Amino acid sequence: MNQGSLNPITIQYRKAIKIFSDIGFEVFEGPDIETEWFNFDSLNVPDNHPSRDIQDTFWLKGDKGEKQCLRTHTTSVDVRVMQKRKPPIKGIIPGRCYRNEKLDATHEATFYQLDGFAIDRGITMSTLVGVLTQFMTKFFGKDSEIRLRPHFYPFVEPGMDIDIKREGKWMEVLGSGMLHPKVLKNMRLDPKIHQGFAFGMGFDRLVMVKYGIKDIRLFHSGDLRFLSQFKE
């Protein structure tokens, strides 16, 4: 009888969660079916943003006619958490996300993310860089070469991407930045008192980079020939 095996995403999720837990991050969860407000509005994503288009988002109609969607990122949990908690806080949100993608070797309609955030007094960009550098070197190895690049995301200001060098080429692996004042206000916080950062990584991509996997669809194939190659 063939013996089952953990998916490589599960194996590496456990490793990533351990890395963040060791530096004081809590783990939070949220609903896969999300309201438009939590998924977009609360995160300062404008009405005309491409991610709101039906070509990118699976839209649903709620019981009262309210617009809902299959969450496009686990960042939607940040505001949910902060409406019930007070700073200081550090949290990560691992989970499944959904986007209306045309499937190919690098795109899936169902994928996984690991988002994180931290809020306190006196948090700066250097705090964020320190946390992410520590994660990247522990996840990929201490000799990993990483690069920071400015990038725009509506829920952070300023924002940046982090790239990792693989086989002589730079690959983007996550986005991040300082939480936008509007997002902090939606968390019922005063941005003049509290600061915070947020980051989000497509976890499938990280695992593909780590193992050299070329086709994202293999993760959901259920093929033991693929799964049995990976050990926890």
Class of domain 8-222: alpha beta
Predicted confidence at residue 1, as pLDDT, reads 55
Predicted confidence at residue 203, as pLDDT, reads 95
Predicted confidence at residue 54, as pLDDT, reads 65
Domains of the chain by residue range: 8-222
Residue 43 · residue 75 · CB < 8 Å? yes
Q: How far is CA 89 from CA 33, 118, 141, 154, in A?
A: 25, 6, 27, 22
Predicted confidence at residue 66, as pLDDT, reads 79
- The CA distance from 135 to 225, in Å, is 30
pLDDT by residue for the chain (232 residues), tens only, comes to 567 789 999 999 999 999 999 999 999 999 999 999 999 999 999 888 777 776 789 999 877 777 899 999 999 999 999 999 999 999 999 999 999 988 899 889 999 999 999 999 999 999 999 999 999 999 999 988 999 999 999 999 999 999 999 888 899 999 999 999 999 999 999 999 999 999 999 999 999 999 999 999 999 998 888 998 998 7
Provide the 3-class DSSP secondary structure of residue 11: helix
Predicted confidence at residue 2, as pLDDT, reads 64
Region of 136 please: left (phi>0), alpha (psi -120 to 50) or beta: alpha
With 0.85 as the threshold, say if the pTM is over it.
Answer: yes
Predicted confidence at residue 75, as pLDDT, reads 95
- The CA distance from 133 to 145, in Å, is 10
Amino acid at 97: C
207-222 b/e with 16+ CB inside 10 Å = b? bbebeebeebebbeee
Predicted confidence at residue 67, as pLDDT, reads 87
